[in-house]
Structure 1
């Protein structure tokens, strides 16, 4: 853009006295005003960067803990049922089925099976010592195995044995029982099926605990343990243990096995019936006339072999001489 002498000259702004004094000052920094404006737009102390207070940390920790109103129902006294779910994590149908299985187990075993049910992310308060639950509530009477199960997170589960079993079952064996049950539950997809698989596998492993403690089969039976009254000669045997394992298998897989077997039998029956009713039509071929007639003369040589041990000459049959030896 070209400028001419006729164009007006823009006048620069006049300096004020305060501006002159500020520029001549040693404390003045060129561009400092811009930085100051940028800094002053932010609060002096950012609350977002402040570390959480102790009250906030306590509130966050309590968010994962079991609600206080359920603590007494969990840990204040011995459970009245084998499945403890005061928070109502299971629907009524699943609750009834799992409780029926645990009741059946107790009627068929020398060791009771108690299940405490918690949420997947819940934490037990620090003032509650889980290992003391078995000592406080199951130290007398029947032996028991207590399971702390986190619905939807079976890998967090823990098992505890009553004091009468701790000498017979090592910590390594207890970990193996827990690991096998966790692996069985992780094969399932939904949380209810995981709980079912975990309980069935643990129930089967309890049989081996009974063997190790001498409660079934050969070995001494502790006289100080309170047990059900049984008729003479009705001491559980290996056959009873195998029956228990079969019953546990049938409880888990019986319905699927029955439906699959029934479907297979129906399929095989349908195939057999279709083959029995099948009809086959043989093709008819046009045969050329012989010497102008519809049929042949009806004579000729016929060779038949009735035995593989005799020569053909001894097996030939005589045919009438229709033409008189011509």
Structure 2
């Protein structure tokens, strides 16, 4: 079972506009809602791959109840804690106008008290028993500790559980000092936190690390795994949206790791899942048949 941590779930919404005028009244032509937040996307993608996934989150208000119910309908096991407030909504603008298409607006979401965070930590520790791998993804609610993920990783290590984390900023700085099994970075995060996109140099900055997935947008994936580095990519014509593709890539990598696949297969599953999201209208979601078809179209090149 892959345990998916999502501290800051959201309702991800496609908001359709014919155009958008600053300082004017703008009416949405259509609104489509999907369960969201990076960890939610990862969990749904793993379930679509026929993996066993549990979604462990911080749930608040009517939005949190909707996200949980939509995820349960997809066959996910739901756990975590409930807090005051309301989980956020995140809007992605869809439009024929390239100037505004795929613009994102994110609500702030709820705040997390010290007591609520301690409850989250304790419950996290209690659900690790039957876990093969932990995926930790995305931001935290306001007032969460800056080293919250590093604290969870330390707990997981004590129980000999591997963690793959997708986060940037101060949370990533703390993870570098703690060390972990795997990390997913984009180029912006790599430059901001490490001052380089050289994956070998990044690996040396961690206390310990076995896997680094460095995504480069349309230029594909660089995967560092146990000292080896390979590049993987595929071509998608007329992508619908890239929102959530990084999360689906994380899911593919996590799924392949639990299947004890080789580095080339891990990279292929990651890229295929990320690309499958681009051709699916549903935001942050993939279809297994698309992934299986794309697996045969991944180019692999050994770097080191």
Q: Which has the higher contact order (CA 8 A, sep 6+)?
A: 2
Give the TM-score, by structure 1 length.
Answer: 0.30
Give the TM-score, by structure 2 length.
Answer: 0.32
Greater share of residues in helix: 1
